[in-house]
A = this chain, B = another copy of it.
């Protein structure tokens, strides 16, 4: 498994952080040439194990390992092989390659499961290049339409669409992207935690009960472009000043609610040293593990935006502000029976003291499948809690333990 993680990381190795050849991250943006190459590789590997392959029309790849009763719905497992521009070698990749290792293990042991087992590489989970995270699992789960995502544009050239790129790399498949056309019985996903909790508690396995609610709110402030040298402070309508106030205010607000709030993306115009910024656009990411508190945070964001637009830090001449919700996901509670199954496998493998029930901070493809089919997740620790960063790291021993919990859980589910 570790060998496969490191050898496939060559497809997009990026962001050197140490002297060892494995000490780089991976930059493999969704639907890029590198994404095509890893999908091709994934198909070749799973075919070699005897899997049948389906590619749906939003670029998801389903590799099905046959069981004794092939007319029954397959046990599902999966994650994603695309990365952030500053991605590591584990986020998503670990889940798909652990699934592959499960299939390899069955094959090596000539073990025929009762039911077919499908391993999925979900397309564009990161939403970094085409701005919708969990894109293709959202379509599969009926959360948004194929037509909507086809039109999403590459954030770097603001032109190339998802549909263009699916066609170009040959992954606009002939199966309809939907649970009804291409169903799974359930979905298991193993993933790195991407946060510091397991490490700081010295636990080896996270049994994920739920994933927190989150909203992405795009905000635009419009002020007036004026000369920085000739415009007295009290005449200004500075869109960056207002935005900066919002960034500090949502930070305070999130802390007071026990939630999270971040601005990761911000553009300003005209972006000239001696011109007061006229237009600033940024995206607020707010999260909470409780739906009610999350909603309160959303309401507070509205107040914070209105307050900043009043420009009291500037001069009291209001700015224009507008906002729209780009993405919203409620708290996802995973299936209790599947969570219990993971817990029992984890107890056997790492012992009760080494597991921890927890909330996923990030959204995952499992949050989408969970809308329609029983779903649950397994986490392994992330060194220093770091993710979306080339330095993302999980100890090979922890990588193995997680894999063994996944294998055990799949076998148990199959036997039940």
Contacts and interface: CB of A to CB of B under 8 A. Distances in A.
B273 A283 contact: yes
Contact of A265 (B212, B251, B271, B285): B271
Contact of A248 (B260, B262, B313, B326): B313
A375 B362 CA distance: 62
Given A262-B276, A264-B272, A273-B131, A233 B216 contact: no
B264 A224 contact: no
A361 B230 contact: yes
A142 interface: no
Contacts of A231: 195-196, 260, 361, 385
Given A235-B385, A272-B86, A230 B264 contact: no
Interface string A255-273: 1000010111110111111
A128 B275 CA distance: 10
Contact of A275 (B84, B243, B363): B84
A287 interface: yes
A342 interface: no
A293 to B, nearest CB: 14
Interface stretch (A39-47, A66-74, A345-353, A386-394): A386-394
A207 interface: no
Given A86-B278, A241-B247, A248-B245, A232 B196 contact: yes
B283 A230 contact: no
A235 B194 contact: no
Contacts of A251: 233, 241, 313-314
A274 interface: yes
A252 to B, nearest CB: 8
Contact of A387 (B85, B226, B278): B226
A271 B264 CA distance: 6
Contact of A386 (B84, B224, B277): B224
B194 A270 contact: no
Residue in A127, A131, A244, A266 with the greatest tally of chain B CB atoms within 10 Å: A244
B84 A273 contact: no
Given A247-B241, A248-B248, A230 B194 contact: yes
A7 interface: no
A240 interface: yes
A229 interface: yes
Nearest to A238: B262
Given A247-B244, A268-B266, A274 B230 contact: no
A254 interface: yes
A167 interface: no
A235 B287 CA distance: 16
A151 B194 CA distance: 43
Interface in A72-117: 84-86
A227 interface: yes
Contacts of A248: 241, 244-245, 248, 313
Interface string A131-175: 101000000000000000000000000000000000000000000
A202 interface: no
Contact of A388 (B225, B266, B285): B225
A263 B228 CA distance: 9
A274 B388 contact: yes
A403 interface: no
Contacts of A121: none
Contacts of A262: 228, 238, 274, 276
Contacts of A209: none
